[in-house]
Structure 1
């Protein structure tokens, strides 16, 4: 019975996620980034979000942890905040020039790690694997939304 539990998709995905996180963290740290900051960094780089509320939604985290992360990122010189001209209670968040300049290397580092992790997979298998994971995440989001 224990073997069956340790072979479930949830457990295996959790192990894979922790492995990816360790690998990414080790490779991003020298660049001054943390793996947990990636959704925020990407959202800001791609202009997909620029307020704390929108960044929290984009990264799929609650507001308090996002506020803490943004405070650390500001302290570390990765982001800057400016007053939102449309809403005096809110601020706009942007990448600093330094962070923006380091992003291409960070992204290349992540792609390299993903490529290494998928060693032995054909291109078709890698695409299928990503598609399956996307479907799984959509199912989990749907389940969570009904609760």
Structure 2
């Protein structure tokens, strides 16, 4: 990649714009179900049995525990999840989807999948699969960089 590329055409900026576009589209499509985009990792993790505690959910969703606690409180208030004391750990709670969330999730998922197909209009199936693979690799790189600390500081001078 050229060091002189316009900052507005860099992968970071374009991915940010794409993420915001997907978030707007998804929020609008999820609103009738009482879900928000931020709920998706929680809903999926609970549905698929990949998490059952606040700590697990925070790790799965890649967020800190305080924001996860706030989200779970809102989701509980809205009737999407229920929390019960964890019998194995008195300081922790088990989190589960309510029947309401479970009943809405399949249709909400279908609506989101259609939104993805709509956004990828004009892409061949092979291009769409390659795009997802490339994004997964990019995310893995970003996770690796985050795990290695704050990163290298660069000089403002362009070589």
Aligned-pair distance for 1:2? 9.7
Per-residue CA deviation, residues 78-99 of structure 1 (Å, 9 max, x unaligned), is 0001110101111100000010
What residue in structure 1 maps to residue 129 of structure 2?
A: 127
Backbone CA RMSD of aligned residues: 1.3
What residue in structure 1 maps to residue 153 of structure 2?
A: none
Q: Secondary structure at the match of 1:89?
A: strand
Q: Secondary structure at the match of 1:70?
A: helix
Q: Secondary structure at the match of 2:6?
A: helix
Per-residue CA deviation, residues 28-70 of structure 1 (Å, 9 max, x unaligned), is 0011100111000000000100100000000000000000000
Q: Could you list the runs of 4 or more consecutive aligned residues of structure 1 that deviate by over 3 angstroms after TM superposition?
A: none
Q: Secondary structure at the match of 2:109?
A: helix
Count of paired positions = 147
What residue in structure 1 maps to residue 85 of structure 2?
A: 83
Aligned-pair distance for 1:110? 0.5
Aligned-partner Cα distance in 1 for 2:100–2:125: 34
What is the TM-score of this pair, normalised by structure 1?
Answer: 0.98
What residue in structure 1 maps to residue 98 of structure 2?
A: 96
What residue in structure 2 maps to residue 139 of structure 1?
A: 141
Aligned-partner Cα distance in 1 for 2:127–2:4: 29
Aligned-partner Cα distance in 1 for 2:60–2:143: 14
The structure with the larger Rg is 2
What is the TM-score of this pair, normalised by structure 2?
Answer: 0.90
Match of 1:62 among 57, 61, 64: 64
Unpaired runs of 5+ in structure 1? none
Aligned-partner Cα distance in 2 for 1:129–1:41: 25
What residue in structure 1 maps to residue 117 of structure 2?
A: 115
Unpaired runs of 5+ in structure 2? 150-159
Q: Secondary structure at the match of 1:77?
A: coil
